Amino acid sequence: MDLYYTAGSAPCRAVLLVAAALDIQLNLKELNLQASEHMTPEFLKLNPQHTVPTLVDDGFSLWESRSISRYLIRKYNNKKLYPEDIKTKALIDQRLDFDMGTLYPRFGNFIYPQIFAGKPADESLFQKFEEALDFFNSFLKGHKYAVGDTLTLADLSLVATVSTIDAVGINLESYPRVQQWFELVKSTAPGYEKANEKGLQKFKALVGHSIKQKTEL
Q: What is the H or E stretch that residue 186 is in? A: helix 176-188
Query: Considering only CA atoms, which of 192, 147, 154 is closest in space to residue 21?
Result: 192
Q: 138-162 burial, b for 16+ CB within 10 Å, e for fewer?
A: ebbeeebbbbbeebbbbbbbbbbbb
Burial bucket for residue 67 (CB in 10 Å: 0-12, 13-18, 19+): middle
Compute the chain's Rg from CA coordinates.
Answer: 17
DSSP code of residue 61: E
Q: Catalytic: which of 9, 65, 157, 163?
A: 9
Indicate if 65 belongs to the active site.
Answer: no
Active-site positions read 9
